[in-house]
Amino acid sequence: MQVLVTGGAGYIGSTLLRFLLERGYDVICLDRLFFGKKSIVELLDNPRFKLIKDDIRWFDPKVLRGVDVVVDLAALSNDPAGELDPAKTYDINYLGRIRVARLSKEYGVRRYIFASTCSVYGFQDEIVNENSKLNPLTTYAKSAALAEKDLLPLADRSFTVTILRFATVYGLSYRMRFDLVVNAMVLSLYKRGKIMVSGDGKQKRPLVHVKDVCRAIIRIIESDPDIVNGEIFNVGSNDQNFQIIDLAHKIGKAIGKPYKIEFYGDPDRRSYHVDFSKIRNILNFRTEHTVEEAAREIYDALERDLIRDDPTTITVKWYKHLLEIHKLVKEIEKNGRIL
């Protein structure tokens, strides 16, 4: 079976590629490589792996011939990055991914899996599930909600469409990110002996390990299409909904180093407690990894210099850098030199 993963060189994608290859799938990674190809370079010699450097907005759809499953991860990820250029976020995260799905159906792909986000819930006082009213507050979340609405009608007997709303992801990855709450807290503790907490820390957030995300995707791929077609699943676990201040103390205790809590920034408008019963009850999916485990692994990797917080690990900062380079190139093209 052949699986195409858009955004395959990213935080989730680079881990998913390895999971898929280990299970015997033939894998195509379609990625713009905004963050380089360091996360996948060791896969390039694998005969069952193929890299296509391209953009979901204009790639040649012929690459979809012979593909059985498309896992659509490509997006300008996270809320702050989405606000850098809202029009571009909408263009990629909504229009680009609708293009992927429609072309997938046209070219005979049998399954399409859309990576959405629990951020579509925005702010909620009650515990939310897949049937709850959405309240997206950011361009990133609004684009995901729009895409979900237009993707589900594409589902039919020959084209299985499944929406996965991921909790906030954490854990080590081949394309490491330190702009995700657990990873960021561990980094600040390692570098400054402080755990940084945004706002007042009272906001609630569901969490899920990147490896569990990959396991959930594979569970969908290998499930009876009649069970998952046209369905939305929250991906996470009910015991990993945390108030951010409690999460900070959990991480500090897990690592076992002296720490202080430092608050920063304005109160976070996003706060939601998510019910993950559906994926457990229907697909018997349960997470295997914990925040404590991940915190210790990340801290150990930092101590051993296996990972570093280089510019590519903070998504919004790297996108700003890329936008500045793009602006510089345009100026050179216009004037022949920088004035």
Task: Please write the tens of the pLDDT for every residue from 234-277.
Answer: 999 999 999 999 999 999 999 999 999 999 987 777 889 999 99
Instruction: With respect to residue 329, please indicate whether it lies within any of the assigned structural domains.
Output: no
- Residue 96 in this model has a pLDDT that exceeds 70: yes
Instruction: With respect to residue 201, please indicate whether it lies within any of the assigned structural domains.
Output: no
Rounded CA gap, 280 and 287, in Å?
9
pLDDT of residue 339: 36
Rounded CA gap, 287 and 195, in Å?
25
Instruction: With respect to residue 61, please indicate whether it lies within any of the assigned structural domains.
Output: yes
pLDDT of residue 97: 97
pLDDT of residue 85: 79
- Residue 330 in this model has a pLDDT that exceeds 60: no
Instruction: With respect to residue 227, please indicate whether it lies within any of the assigned structural domains.
Output: yes
Domain holding 67: CATH number? 3.40.50.720
Give me the sheet containing 204-209, strands edge to edge: 168-170, 204-209, 241-243
Instruction: With respect to residue 279, please indicate whether it lies within any of the assigned structural domains.
Output: yes
pLDDT of residue 88: 87
Rounded CA gap, 299 and 318, in Å?
23
Residues 6+ apart with CB under 8 A from 294: 170, 171, 172, 182, 209
Instruction: With respect to residue 331, please indicate whether it lies within any of the assigned structural domains.
Output: no
Helix (H, G, I), strand (E, B) or coil at 151: helix
Phi-psi region of 162 (alpha: psi -120 to 50; beta: other; left: phi over 0): beta
Task: Please write the tens of the pLDDT for every residue from 45-87.
Answer: 999 999 999 999 999 999 999 999 999 999 987 666 667 678 8
- Residue 335 in this model has a pLDDT that exceeds 80: no
Q: At what angle do helices 244-255 and 291-303 cross, to 10 degrees?
A: 50
Task: Please write the tens of the pLDDT for every residue from 276-312.
Answer: 999 999 999 999 999 999 999 999 999 999 999 988 8
Following DSSP, what letter does each residue of 194-254 receive, concatenated? EEEEETTS--EEEEEEHHHHHHHHHHHHTS-HHHHTTEEEEES-GGGEEEHHHHHHHHHHH
pLDDT of residue 122: 93
One-letter amino acid for residue 63 of the chain: V
pLDDT of residue 79: 64
Instruction: With respect to residue 52, please indicate whether it lies within any of the assigned structural domains.
Output: yes
**289's tokens:** 């990894």
- Residues for the chain: how many in total? 339
Mean pLDDT of the chain: 92
Residue 50 is part of which domain span? 2-173+206-239+271-288
Task: Please write the tens of the pLDDT for every residue from 142-176.
Answer: 999 999 999 999 999 999 999 999 999 999 999 99
Phi-psi region of 230 (alpha: psi -120 to 50; beta: other; left: phi over 0): left
Rounded CA gap, 47 and 103, in Å?
26
Rounded CA gap, 142 and 129, in Å?
18
**Dihedral sign for Cα atoms in the order 91, 94, 98, 100:** positive
Q: Report the percentage of the chain scoring pLDDT > 90.
A: 83
Instruction: With respect to residue 13, please indicate whether it lies within any of the assigned structural domains.
Output: yes
Total tally of structural domains belonging to the chain: 1
